[in-house]
Amino acid sequence: MKRIRIVLLILFVLSCHDNPTEPRPAALENGRYTGDNACLAVTDTGCNLVVGCGHGTFPKPAIRSDGTFDVDGTYRIEVGPISIDPPPPAHYSGSLAGSRLTLRVVPTVNSLPPATYSLTPSTTGTCPVLCL
C-alpha cells in the first residue's frame, strides 16, 4: 500500500508540471492585413511589411497568451535603383485583439522614426512594394 501511495504521489507531482488551463502561444494567422496605408502579408515562412516605400521582413511571430508579440527583422526604404544590402535590422512588436493587429516598427538605421500601424485582415496575397 505504501508503494502505491508513493507511485500516486510521483504521478501527481509530474502531472502538475504544466498548467493545462494556461493558453499556449499561438502563431499569427496567415493572410494579408491592411490599414494606415500599410500592408502585411503573413505566410508560414515569414512576414512581409510594405508601407509606401518602406519594406520590412520578419519571422512569423508567436502570439503570447496576453495577445502580444515581439520579434527582430529588417526594414529599409527602397527608392530608385539604390538598395541597402543587407537590409538594416529593425524590431517589431505589437498585439492582437480580436481581428485587429497593432504593429510597431522600430528601425535601427538612417534615423527613421518608430511607427505604429493598426491593421485588419483583408484579401489574401502578397503586398506590392510600390517604390522600386
Q: How confident is the model at residue 120 (pLDDT cuts 50, 70, 90)?
A: very high
pLDDT at 4 over 90: no
pLDDT at 101 over 90: yes
Structure confidence at residue 41 (pLDDT): 94
Cell of 108: 535601427
Calculate the alpha carbon distances from 102 to 21, 105, 116 in Å: 26, 10, 7
Q: Per mean pLDDT, which of 3-12, 23-32, 77-86 is the most reliable? A: 23-32
pLDDT, one tens digit per residue, over 40-65 is 999 999 999 999 888 899 999 999 99
